[in-house]
Chains A and B, each alone.
Chain A
Amino acid sequence: MEDLLPDFLLETYESLVQLDAQVVRLERDLNDTSILATIFRHVHTIKGTCGFLGLSRLEKLAHATENVLDQHRNGILPITAGSIQLVLRALDGIRAIVDGIHSTGLEPKGTDAVLIAELSAGAENKLSAFERPTDVSNDDTPLAAVPVPATAPSQILIPLVAEVATILPPEPVAQTIRVSIKVLESLMALVSELVLTRNQLLQVARAHENDLFAGPLQRLSHITSDLQQGMIKTRMQPISNAWSNLPRLVRDLANELGKKIELVMLGGDTELDRQIVELIKDPLIHMVRNSADHGIENAIDRRAAGKPQQGHLRLNAYHEGGYVVIEVGDDGRGLLVDRIKAKIISNRFATETELAEMSDQQVQSFIFRASFSTAAAVTAVSGRGVGMDVVKTNIEQINGTIEVTSESGKGTLFTVKIPLTLAIVSALIVEVRGERFAIPQISVLELVRARTKGVDDLVAGRRTSECVIERINKIPVLRLRDHLLPLVNLGDLLKLDDANGREAAADGCYVVVIQVGACKFGLIVDQVFDTEEIVVKPVAPIIRQITVFGGNTILGDGSVIMIIDPSGIARATGIGIGLGGANAKGVAVEQTSKQKISLLLIKAGDEYGKAVPLDLISRLESIKPETIEYPGGQPMTQYRGKLMPLVAMSAANLNQLSSDAQPVLVFADGNRVMGLMVDEIVDVVEDWLHVELSTDQPGFLGTAIVKGRATNILDTGYWLHRAFKDWFGAPAAHRSEPPQVLVVEDSQFFRSLIIPALAAQGYHVTAVDSPVAALAMRGAGRTFDVILSDIEMPEMDGIEFVRDIRAQGAWTRLPVIALTSLNSPKAVEQGRQAGFDDYISKFDKTVLLDAVNKALSFEREAYVPEKASAQQGTQS
């Protein structure tokens, strides 16, 4: 315990300084709940930590303070000048005790009964309790002197000194000092610079042999290397540093709760950036506490459930695909979905109908909401509802993710994924066509020297011991110990100039065998150099859409190098496809904005290239001409037991039906399917869809540059409409006109992404680039069925826009859906308050379409009368 005390003191002093500042801020703005929440968390942390350090006096006082704050936080008790005074006095009381611990190493004797009584009285809303301290403050007594209650001066033994919080006597905390990461970063940059200069010097020195400087330079060089190593080390810590206090915590908890718990910790030597270790500490404590308190049952319940009496808590840390994964698992009762549901409803986080549509996993994720706790009683351990939301916030601060999976009766598993962005990794440096790249060593399984199969080999039919790259339909593969390893030519993938690459490959190249998740593949490179310790730096936002790179870094020689992200390569080449749920989920999380999209290039009619986003196509088929029938003049074919209408993109398609198979793009919309006949399917490419020229030609959205060529982008909505109209006939259609959707989005890119997606569903889409333009349409009397709006826009943002819609005009009751790339819970809440009906990520097409559908069905039920009258208005 002694070695934990200095840390505790340092932390608590920091918290107290923060607390003072926050309380004073709160005094200025009594209604700011976010300040109150911060104050509450600080006090909660102090209470929690002293709990397991055995500082009972401090714990009691902090608990009492927390109680009062909790009442304020829940809005039960209004915040008044008096209550702030009381909280400040409580903080001073805490500081007095902490000072005592600081100077003697022990908790000072005495009680804080009077103060605690006042606090409890305060928590029970006896206003009289507040009045007294207000009186005290009236006679201009300095704050620091206030906490000594006049009635019990002898009970606080340690004199209070106002400056204690800022000036710390050095003795008890001399072993470590805290250095801000900023200082370390700038030192790191300087050292890199030094290394660069050293290298230049060495180069100069090499030119002058027998130089006087050779000796000293050699020494300088060594020292510089050592300095660089040391600098890198300052940032690294094994994760066991973050959980060294957990065994004690679990033991104490087990005793306190009367349970038997065994803690297993694996992967403690997984190295993490120092900053991340610091930040992950508190969340880990919270999670372990939660598992011990709520997760693991007591011995009697466990025996009744047929489990061993002793509960197991398992911590596991490991590196995985550029992440550090930390698992906190228990074999307890699992999350009680029904109880969480009840709590969700009682806290009005969601309605019962919304809940009915959620999966268990979605329901379980509600435990990360603020003030959510299913523990029936507030205990000293947990159950106040601070825990999991703090955990989530802290983890998100370091760009991590947290997920919970739980099986009733079997246990709960929290999986925390932290990106490696700050961490230092060992990387293999390779060269391809004259460019160097770094590959994280973690995903490299082995290196194989290979050469491409020449004509000689085929003629002689010999099989040598060395590895030979073979091809199946131009796709390179490698026979590696009787397994076929798919190969990716890194130079081709990165579209590097192929000047003299081919010859080099013929006389030998290297295959870097890489494992991502469950799949293995080989990267063909020209040269393999050394491994180097590198600090992964994120790439600039403007090139973040290139997913094959995980970052960049500066090498020892001062040059910048791009770091390959093996999972990005797997995705780009389709190797990772079909790996199942877990991997697919990871992909979704990593998907960033401004990503390239896959486009299918086709030819139809004229020689100009045409393209359609691959996402919109469900299948590509080749249909024999004789299977195409013409009942009623409409071409159609039997497709999977159904009749599928066919639409020809150009008149030529219909006339030229020769004996060749007809290529068809199959579009599916719900259970309707249609086929679009084209002349030729050319290729699938990845590119940014940036429609530059709009067109009046029906059936096309406009023209974009795809692979350096002007290409017409198909308006799939138009073609689907043609098929459906002809096929179902106008009178039979279940709605007389397509729903009108208004899209307000300033980015051309997203407009061109969203419009085809919506149009393909048969909606009539109108898009404008600013809320101002949208409001002008409202003024002009246009009506819509649903509005989709971006949040971040110049001039007027989405929040203002929706407020305006709700405030006045004809659109007040229209469903409005927010499209955004930022969906933090806070932003969502803000959006909802402003008047958005739904809040969705603009990158997820399925969610987008679902949301629009939902809004429309709701809208049809609720708003039909009004809409009808509005239409009459325009007609008359």
Chain B
Amino acid sequence: MIATKATGANPNERRSGSTFVTMRVGHQLCGIPVLSVRDIIETQAMTRIPLAPQDIVGCLNLRGRVVTAIDLRLRLHLPPQNVGQARMSVVVEHQDELYSLVVDSVQEVIDFQDQCLEPNPPTLGSPWREFSAGVFQLQAELLMALNIERVLTFA
């Protein structure tokens, strides 16, 4: 469908992590490997965590487990979403902890197994440079593959 067949692609190089859940954060389309996604839920009431970095917006209960929520807009230094606008949470598991990435909306699931991940443009500034694992080219726009590890690392 959207993914165009790259000529000369070696089918042996296909990796299982090449299917991405895509989501919109501000104007940007972002993606994370579908296998790392545990759940997609509508963002619910959260408990605030005082003194936490600004982009850690709270924690919530997902079937008896505490999930720490990170607002991807704030993480990417984008302006906050207007109050009252519905948002979605993509729950990922990282080192046995659950994190919810709060995004504007969740889009389709795209299989990129025939396309390679382009490296970040060298001019991409901080903090995007750290959080982007690379770029996939879609017909209409570019998709930034998120580096979950980095997104969830707070120095």
Contacts and interface: CB of A to CB of B under 8 A. Distances in A.
- Which size class do A's interface residues fall under? 35 or more
Given A189-B63, A192-B64, A560 B47 contact: yes
Contacts of A190: 64
B97 A554 contact: no
Given A192-B64, A559-B61, A594-B154, A494 B51 contact: yes
Contact of A537 (B46, B56, B66): B66
Contacts of B45: 559
Contact of A435 (B48, B65, B70, B95): B48
A675 B55 CA distance: 39
A748 B155 contact: yes
Contact of A193 (B56, B63, B97, B152): B63
A21 B140 CA distance: 57
Contacts of B61: 192, 196, 554, 558-560
Interface string A744-767: 000111000000000000000000
A519 to B, nearest CB: 22
B49 interface: yes
A748 to B, nearest CB: 6
A560 B66 contact: yes
A578 interface: no
Interface in B37-84: 45-53, 56, 59-61, 63-66, 68, 70
Contacts of B20: none
A543 B63 contact: no
Contacts of A561: 47
A542 B47 contact: no
Contacts of A189: 63-65
Contacts of A690: 155
A522 to B, nearest CB: 19
B112 interface: no
Contacts of B95: 541
Interface residues of B, number: 26
A541 B149 CA distance: 12
Interface in A547-587: 548-549, 552-554, 558-562
Contact of B51 (A540, A548, A558, A594): A548
B97 A541 contact: yes
A189 B52 CA distance: 26
A540 B68 contact: yes
A749 B155 contact: yes
A549 B66 CA distance: 15
Contacts of B131: none
A552 B66 contact: yes
A184 interface: no
A204 to B, nearest CB: 18
A495 B154 CA distance: 20
Interface string A426-446: 000000000110000000000
Contacts of A552: 47, 59, 66
Contacts of B136: none
A559 B68 contact: no
Instruction: Indicate the member of B50, B53, B66 with the most A CB atoms within 10 Å.
Output: B50
Contacts of A541: 95, 97
Interface of A: 188-193, 196, 435-436, 494-496, 537, 539-543, 545-546, 548-549, 552-554, 558-562, 594, 688, 690, 747-749
Q: Closest 7 interchain pairs by CB?
A: A189-B64, A494-B50, A540-B68, A192-B64, A560-B47, A749-B155, A542-B154
Interface of B: 45-53, 56, 59-61, 63-66, 68, 70, 95, 97, 99, 152-155
26 contacts: A189-B63, A191-B64, A193-B64, A496-B50, A537-B66, A539-B68, A540-B97, A541-B97, A542-B56, A542-B154, A543-B56, A543-B68, A543-B154, A546-B49, A546-B51, A548-B51, A549-B49, A552-B47, A554-B61, A554-B64, A558-B61, A560-B60, A560-B61, A562-B59, A690-B155, A748-B155
Given A191-B64, A435-B48, A553-B66, 20 more contacts: A189-B64, A190-B64, A192-B61, A435-B47, A539-B66, A539-B68, A540-B59, A540-B99, A542-B56, A542-B68, A542-B153, A543-B52, A546-B50, A549-B49, A554-B61, A559-B47, A561-B47, A594-B154, A688-B53, A749-B155
